[in-house]
Structure 1
Amino acid sequence: MTFHLRPAAPEDLEFARDLTCQNMLRYYIHHGLLWQDEAFDVAWSGRQNWLIVQGDVSIGFLSLSRDMRALYIRELQVAEAFQGRSAGSWAIDQVIDMARKERRPALRLTVFDNNPARNLYERKGLQVQGRDECFLRMQLDISTHVL
């Protein structure tokens, strides 16, 4: 079954917040950071958000922002039951395509240094550009061929 993106609606906020907390809380705890629902909600309201849908089931979401230098993946979350089934890889391909169409010079994201999603990002051509405490800053130059 294939995936598609659907623009997120205000009623999708709770799904996205709960999914992010479920997926990320262990990293927050490991690094001594405090999860705050309110902070997630504020960030969500200032971004372009898409649900990752398979059939008629929302299995994850993307949260994006932009500036003149890059398209930024602020969140890419896939429900645990659907991880390892290519949804994340497919979603990254969609964002790379968006960046190309928008003629953004780069795709950027930040990932916890101990998050295995880093391996997926590296397979997709993103490279570590720097480190901020427990986070890695990664980038794909859009002129780079994507696998």
Structure 2
Amino acid sequence: MKLIPATDDHRTFARDLTRRAMLPYYREFDLLWIEEAFDQAWGWREQWLIVEGESVLGFCSLSQDRQALFIRELHLLPEYRGRGVGSWVLGQLADWAGQRRLPLLRLMVFKSNPARQLYRRNGFVEMGEDECFVRMQRVTGGCR
């Protein structure tokens, strides 16, 4: 497996995958999915495809500040879930944060999303929550 940069040609795939994965949570928490918001964020975030051979397994979207690499989106096609792909990606992103000398890898996840278990198994701890989301982070070992 590897992560390769996504281009504008991949935006429709990434948006559709994100919408399909997130719409049940948006409905559950009475939030509005806005296509334009995804498209706008596409321009300022780092976008990566998760690939194995010729197959695209999913994508992730990242941003960073002075102390953390933020996972903004991490979505896999349904047929690749539960196969260790998510754990592999999280390990890669923790390594990247360390290489960038960022001590933390952070994300937010809907409270009812079963991916919380994946994150916990991969060293993330819950740092707080609001009505919809849980904030989680993992120490990467990167120094500032």
Q: TM-score range by the shorter chain?
A: over 0.9
- 2:83 corresponds to 1:85: yes
Matched residue type, 1:118: R
TM-score by length of 1: 0.93
Kindly provide the CA deviation profile for residues 76-133 of structure 1, in whole angstroms up to 9, marking residues without a partner as x: 0001111111111111011000011111011100000000000000011110001122
* Cross-structure match for 1:119: 117
TM-score by length of 2: 0.95
Percent of residue pairs identical: 50
* Cross-structure match for 1:5: 3
Q: Residues 123-142 of structure 1 correspond to what in structure 2 (within 5 A)? A: 123-142=121-140
Q: Distance in 2 between matches of 1:132 and 1:105?
A: 24
- 2:27 corresponds to 1:29: yes
- 2:47 corresponds to 1:53: no
Q: Structure 1: which 5+ residue stretches go unaligned?
A: none
Q: Distance in 2 between matches of 1:4 and 1:74?
A: 19
Deviation of residue 141 (structure 1)? Answer: 1.6
Q: Distance in 2 between matches of 1:97 and 1:4?
A: 13
The answer on whether the counterparts of 2:108 and 2:136 sit within 8 Å (CA) in structure 1 is yes
Q: How many correspondences in the alignment?
A: 142
Q: Distance in 2 between matches of 1:132 and 1:71?
A: 21
Q: Distance in 2 between matches of 1:143 and 1:126?
A: 13
Deviation of residue 12 (structure 1)? Answer: 0.4
* Cross-structure match for 2:92: 94
Deviation of residue 55 (structure 1)? Answer: 1.5
Q: Structure 2: which 5+ residue stretches go unaligned?
A: none
Q: Distance in 2 between matches of 1:111 and 1:35?
A: 16
Where do 4+ consecutive residues of structure 1 move more than 4 Å? none
Matched residue type, 1:64: L
Kindly provide the CA deviation profile for residues 126-145 of structure 1, in whole angstroms up to 9, marking residues without a partner as x: 1000112210000112239x
